Structure 1
Amino acid sequence: MRYIRYASIAIFALALILVALANREMVTVRIVPEDLAGFTALNPAGQVPLFVVIFGAILAGLILGFIWEWIREAGERAAAARQAREMQRMRAEIKRLKAEKHEGKDEVLAILDDGR
C-alpha cells in the first residue's frame, strides 16, 4: 500500500513538473482590468510565468474549498460535541445508579454484577 502511495505522489509530481515546463512563457498579471484602471489610483501589474498563475489559482481554489467545508460542517461538529456531552452524562448517571443499587451489598457480588 505504501508503494501505491509513493507511485501516486510521483505521478502527480511528474504531472506538475510537465505543466510547469509546458507553460513557462511570461504573462502580465493585473489586479484591475485595464478598462477600469482609470477609476483606481493604483493598478499594479507584474510579469510572472503562466504556470505560477495556474498553480496559484489551484491553490486559491483549494483554500477556499477547505474554508467552505469547515464552515459548512460547523453544525455537524456542534451536534457531535452535544452528543458526546450527553453520552458522558448518561454514563455518569448509569454508574451512579449501579452504585445505588449495590449499596450495602457484598462488594464481590457488586463487582461481578457490574460486568467488569
Structure 2
Amino acid sequence: MLTYLRYAILTIIALVLLTIALANRTVVTVQLLPDTLAGVTGFNLSVTLPLFIILGLAIGFGLLLGFVWEWVREHGYRSEAARARREAQALRADLQRVETIAPQTRKDDVLAVLEAR
C-alpha cells in the first residue's frame, strides 16, 4: 500500500514539473554582469537557455548548497557520535574481558569485578 502511495506522489510531482517546464519554454539569456559593469571589465559571461532549465539548475544548486551546509553544520554531532561509539566498544571489550576472567560461580558481580583487577 505504501509503495502505491509513493508512486502516486512521484507521479504528481512529475506532472507538476512537466507542467512548469511546458509553461516556461521561452528562451532567455542570463548574464553574469550588467551591461555597464561588463563594459568596464571587458567580459560578460552569458548563457541562453529555456527558462525551465535555468529554474531547475537554480533549484538544484540551492539544494546542493543546503545539503553541503547541513553536512558541515552536523560535523560536531558526527564526531561526538563516533567518540561515543569508540567508548562503548572499549567498554564492551572491557566487560567481556572481566567476564572471562571473573569466576562464574560468584553471586556478587561487584566482588567478581574487584577480584578480576
Q: TM-score, normalised by structure 1?
A: 0.84
Runs of 4 or more, structure 1, over 4 Å off, are none
1:33-55 alpha-carbon deviations (Å, 9 max, x no partner)? 22311232321222211111111
**How far is the alpha carbon of 1:98 from its aligned partner?**
1.2
Aligned to 1:27, what secondary structure does the other structure show? strand
1:41-56 equivalence runs, <5 A:
41-56=42-57
**How far is the alpha carbon of 1:62 from its aligned partner?**
0.4
Structure 2 residue aligned with 1:76: 77
1:46-75 alpha-carbon deviations (Å, 9 max, x no partner)? 221111111111001000000001001111
Q: Distance in 2 between matches of 1:39 and 1:22?
A: 37
**How far is the alpha carbon of 1:96 from its aligned partner?**
1.0
Structure 2 residue aligned with 1:9: 10
Structure 1 residue aligned with 2:98: 97
**How far is the alpha carbon of 1:6 from its aligned partner?**
0.3
Q: Distance in 2 between matches of 1:41 and 1:73?
A: 42
Amino acid aligned to 2:83: R
Cα RMSD (Å): 1.8
Query: Alignment identity in percent?
Result: 46
Structure 2 residue aligned with 1:66: 67
User: Would you say how many aligned residue pairs link Structure 1 and Structure 2?
Assistant: 106
Aligned to 2:30, what secondary structure does the other structure show? strand
Matched, 1:20 2:18: no
Q: TM-score, normalised by structure 2?
A: 0.83
Aligned to 1:82, what secondary structure does the other structure show? helix
